[in-house]
Structure 1
Amino acid sequence: MKKIGVLTSGGDAPGMNAAIRAVVRKSIYHEIEVYGIKHGFQGLIDGSIEKMEVGSVGDIIQRGGTKLYSARCEEFKTEEGQQKGIEQLRKHEIEGLIVIGGDGSFMGAKKLTEKGYPCIGVPGTIDNDIPGTDFTIGFDTALNTIIDAIDKIRDTATSHERTYVIEVMGRNAGDLALWSGLADGAESVIVPEMDDEFAEVIERLKRGHDRGKKHSIIIVAEGAGSGVDFSKRVEQATDLETRVTVLGHTQRGGSPTASDRVLASRLGAYAVDLLIEGKAGCMVGIENNQLVNHDILEVLNRKHSVDMDLYRLSKELSI
């Protein structure tokens, strides 16, 4: 393999730049030319492709977002769009492609592999919703951003003796809500993977109030419903003064943590190794701190689930 391409697709995640850097420098180390494709699969269709050098990825490992930009591309879901992308790969003589993104991005990678262009997927999403890996690039950074916000909100919740409902991101996965709730001692955590136990939430609030507790924190994953609506339900059921904070896209930005930088570097470099070995149509991941790879189709057919041990522990510690 003489030339490979790299792109980022879907939602941005802190650590994507570290993964790009690893792909570029690992490739050059093995005397392989590497081409950056801007704006994801849309850029592939449009031919927004440029050769990258060692200096192209200098001073980006600490930056959030993605140097190659990102975009969602409906056209690439069509046969015609995929063929346009293949024509650009042929034009630049690119023999393999590394796709950094989530499950939607991996579907595009799988389609290209089926058409003769080997692709490797690198899981980059703050949601941590990709089966086959313990952690995705960006999850740890987003988690720490949430924890920092909750710490600040708890200060004002204590001062005003209020109940706060905090809505966090995660799409249809509850990992960000669960991990941040456990790390910050939230009284309740609402995740989409579990049934809404509203009566239990209210009982826990009342029990805390009866023993003299003046404030409470409830974390709601966006996939489980609106934090605003949940806040209204709580206020109506308890008469406790309630406020809501929707953290929004602040969770996707910021300088990646050391954990995300190291994870991204390992996964990006491993993806290059797999292409060199002749692998195709698979996703890299980390399980029990060991690098692994799985067939993309197998990953896409599996359902994400939260760690039930953590979920039970969060309940046990919030009595």
Structure 2
Amino acid sequence: MKKIAVLTSGGDAPGMNPGIRAVVRAGIYHGLEVVGVRHGYAGLLRGDFIPMTLESVGDIVQRGGTCLYTARCPEFMTPEGQQLGFEHLRQSGIEALIVFGGDGSFHGALRLHEMGIQTIGVPSTIDNDIACCDLTIGFDTAVQTVIEAIDKIRDTATSHERTYVVEVMGRSAGHIALQAGLAGGAESVLIPEVPYQLEDVIKRLERGIARGKKHSIIVIAEGAGSGVEVGQYVREHTGLDVRVTVLGHVQRGGAPTATDRVLASRLGAYAVNLCMAGESGKMAATQNGELCAVPFETVFNSVRAPEMSVYQLADILSI
């Protein structure tokens, strides 16, 4: 093997830059030529390739986002788009492609694998909704961002004796809401994986009020409903002073935590090793802290469910 490429696809995640850095520096260490594909699969369709050097990835380990940029590309999911991407890789002499992204990005990588390009995926999404791995790159940073926001919101909730509803990201998964809700001491945590009744949320608030509690935090995952609608319901059924904060894309930015930097560095370098070993159509991951390669098909056929023991603990501690 002489030449590999790396791209970031889908939503950005804190830790992508340390991952890119690891791919480039590990690749060069092993004598490989490394190419960056800008703007994800959209850039692949345009042949937007740039040479990557040691200097090109200097001073990015602490930066959020991705220096290669990213985009969503519906065109690549068509047979014509996939063929065009395949041809650009072949014409450029690229033998293997390392893809940082989530489920959709991996489906694109699998298709290239089936067409004859070596592909390795690196799980990178704040949602932490990819199965068969301990953590996805970006999740730890996103949770930390939410916790910092909840801590600040609780200060003003205490000062004004208010109830706050905080809506967090996660797409159709509740991992961010669950971890941040427990760590932030939320009185209620609403996630899409567990059915809930707003009447139960009201009862919990009323129990707190009965014992003298003057402020509360309700955390809801975006996949579980609208924070605005929950806030309106609580306000109408309790008469409480309720405010709603939708954290939005602030959760995807910011300097990656040490956990995300180390994870991305390990997985990026390991992805290079997998390419050199001739592996393809697999995701680089950690399981119980150990590096491993998992076939894309196994990942797609598995579901990452929230830890119910954590959900139950959050419920117990918010009594």
* 2-structure distance, mates of 1:208, 1:284: 46
* 2-structure distance, mates of 1:279, 1:89: 18
**Paired position in structure 1 for 2:253:** 253
| Mapping of residues 57-206 of structure 1, within 5 Å | 57-206=57-206
Residue 284 of structure 1: CA displacement? 1.2
| Count of residue correspondences | 319
* 2-structure distance, mates of 1:135, 1:38: 25
1:148-194 C-alpha deviation (Å, 9 max, x unpaired): 11111000000110100000000001010000000010000000011
* 1-structure distance, mates of 2:131, 2:96: 23
Percent identity among equivalent residues? Answer: 62
Q: Counterpart of 1:11 in 2: which secondary structure?
A: coil
Shift >6 Å, 4+ stretches: none
Give the letter for the 2:14 counterpart. P
**Paired position in structure 2 for 1:300:** 300
Q: Counterpart of 2:127 in 1: which secondary structure?
A: coil
Residue 7 of structure 1: CA displacement? 0.1
**Paired position in structure 2 for 1:276:** 276
Give the letter for the 2:303 counterpart. K
Residue 197 of structure 1: CA displacement? 3.0
Residue 302 of structure 1: CA displacement? 1.6
Contact 2:132 2:304 in 1 (8 A): no
* 2-structure distance, mates of 1:96, 1:257: 29
Q: Which runs of 5+ in 2 are unaligned?
A: none
RMSD across aligned C-alpha pairs, in angstroms? 0.7
Q: Counterpart of 2:186 in 1: which secondary structure?
A: coil
Residue 297 of structure 1: CA displacement? 1.6
* 2-structure distance, mates of 1:308, 1:276: 39
TM-score (normalizing by structure 1): 0.99
Q: Counterpart of 2:318 in 1: which secondary structure?
A: coil
**Paired position in structure 2 for 1:13:** 13
TM-score (normalizing by structure 2): 0.99
1:21-49 C-alpha deviation (Å, 9 max, x unpaired): 00000001110111000000010010000
* 2-structure distance, mates of 1:69, 1:301: 29
* 2-structure distance, mates of 1:307, 1:98: 30
1:210-253 C-alpha deviation (Å, 9 max, x unpaired): 00000000000000011000111111222211110000111000
Please say which of residues 42-51 and 296-305 is displaced more in the overlay.
Answer: 296-305
Residue 304 of structure 1: CA displacement? 2.4
Q: Which runs of 5+ in 1 are unaligned?
A: none
Q: Counterpart of 1:283 in 2: which secondary structure?
A: strand
Give the letter for the 1:34 counterpart. V
* 1-structure distance, mates of 2:162, 2:233: 15
Q: Counterpart of 1:19 in 2: which secondary structure?
A: helix
